[in-house]
Chain A
Amino acid sequence: MTTTDAAVVIVVPALNEAASVGAVVTGLREALASATVVVVDDGSTDLTARAAGDAGAVVLRHPFNLGVGAAMRTGMAWARANGVDRVVQVDGDGQHPAASVVELLEHLDRGADIAVGSRFADAAGDGDYRVSALRAAGMWLLRTYLRLFARLDLPDVTSGFRAFGPRALDVVADDYPAEYLSDTIEVLWMAGRAGLTVVPVPVEMRHREHGTPSHRTFRSVLYVLRVVFLLVSLAGRRSRTEGGR
C-alpha cells in the first residue's frame, strides 16, 4: 500500500471561505488524485458550499457554526462511513501547501499515527511568522504541558495541518473536541495518552495575521487565559480518568 493510491479523505473545515476554498480544493485534487476532498462548510453565510462543490469536493454542511473540531468530527465520520481510514486536515484559507499533504501521508506509511505539519520545525526558521510575547508564552505552556503529560515533543502544537492514520481515528474520530484550542491541543493530548506515535513534519506555511496591533494584544491575553483554562480542565480530566482505572 503506497501513499498515492490508497484511499484517503482530505477534510477541509471552512467558514466563509468562498474566495479561497475553490482553489484549495482544486490544488488538493491535483496534488493527490486518489484523495477524496471533503469540505465541511461550518455554517458559512457566503457561497463556500457552492464554490467547494463546483471545484469537485464532497460538501457537508453544518446548519450553523459549530467550530473546527466539530467540522473534523463530521469529516472523520464521513470518511469512516465510506470505509476510509486515513484523514488529512487542511485549512480552507489556503495557508497549507497542497503538495505537503503527500509528505504527511508518507509519515503515516512509515508508522506514524498522526503527522503534524509544523511551522517551527524549519531549522532556519524563515518566513515572516512572528507572534506576540504573550502568545508565544501561551504556546510554550501548551508545548511543555504536552511534553510532560502526554509525552509528545512537538514544535507546533496548534497547527491545523495534520494527517491521521487508522489507529488515530479509532482514538479521536468519535470524540474530537469541539471547543476552541481543544480541537488542536486536546486531540494531541488524547493521542499521546493513548500511546500513539505523533511526528512533526516541517512545512512552510503562509501565515495570515488578522486584526490591528491593539486588538492583537487583547486577543493574546485572551489566548493565554484560554490556554490556562484548557490546561486546568485537562488536568482535571487526567485525574478523573486515572482514578477510574
Chain B
Amino acid sequence: MTRLHLLAILGGLLIGGSVTMLLRRGQLQYRYAVLWLAMVATTAPFAVRPSLLDSLASWLGIADPPNLLFFIGLVGVIALVSLLTSELSRAQSRLHDLARAHALLEERVRRQEEAQEERTSR
C-alpha cells in the first residue's frame, strides 16, 4: 500500500464523513447528501483497489486509466451542477410567488388598518 493509496482512502472518508456530519446537523438536505454519497460510493472502490480502475478502463477501451477517473468525476460534477441550477430556478420562482403574495397581502392589511383607524377615531 503506497502513501498515495492511503491518501486517496483518507480523502474519500473525509468527504463521506463531512457529508454525514452536515446531514446530521441539518445543514444539508437529504436529497443533496444522497448525491454526494453516491459520488463517494462510485469512486471509493477505486481508492481502495486501484487495480480495479485499470481493469475497468481496459474493459471499456480507455487507454489511459486515470482518464476514466476524470470522466467519472466530471460526469458527477455536471450532474450535481445541473441539479443545482434547476433547483435554484424552482426556488427562485417560489420566492417570486411569495414576494407577489406578500405585496398583495401587505396592501390588504394596510387598507384594513386604515379602515379600522377611521372607525375608532369616529
Task: Indicate whether B106 reaches chain A with its CB closer than 8 angstroms.
Answer: yes
Task: Indicate whether B102 reaches chain A with its CB closer than 8 angstroms.
Answer: yes
Report how far A163 CA is from B96 CA in the complex, Å.
24
Q: Known contacts A70-B96, A178-B96; is A63 also within 8 Å of B107 by CB? A: no
Residues of A within 8 A of B102 (CB): 63
Q: Mark B69-103, 1 if CB is under 8 A from A, else 0.
A: 00000000000000000000000000010011011
Residues of A within 8 A of B100 (CB): 62, 66, 70, 73-74, 77
Report the interface size class on chain B. Answer: under 10
Report how far A102 CA is from B102 CA in the complex, Å.
31
Residues of A within 8 A of B99 (CB): 62-64, 66, 70
Do the beta carbons of B107 and A59 come within 8 Å of each other? yes
Task: Indicate whether A230 reaches chain B with its CB closer than 8 angstroms.
Answer: no
Q: Mark A76-110, 1 if CB is under 8 A from B, else 0.
A: 01100100000000000000000000000000000
Do the beta carbons of B104 and A61 come within 8 Å of each other? no
Report how far A70 CA is from B96 CA in the complex, Å.
8
Residues of B within 8 A of A60 (CB): 103-104, 106-107
Report how far A73 CA is from B99 CA in the complex, Å.
12
Residues of B within 8 A of A64 (CB): 99
Give min CB distance, B100 to chain A, whole Å.
5
Report how far A104 CA is from B4 CA in the complex, Å.
75
Mark A residues whose CB is within 8 Å of B. Answer: 40, 58-64, 66, 70, 73-74, 77-78, 81, 178
Mark B residues whose CB is within 8 Å of A. Answer: 96, 99-100, 102-104, 106-107
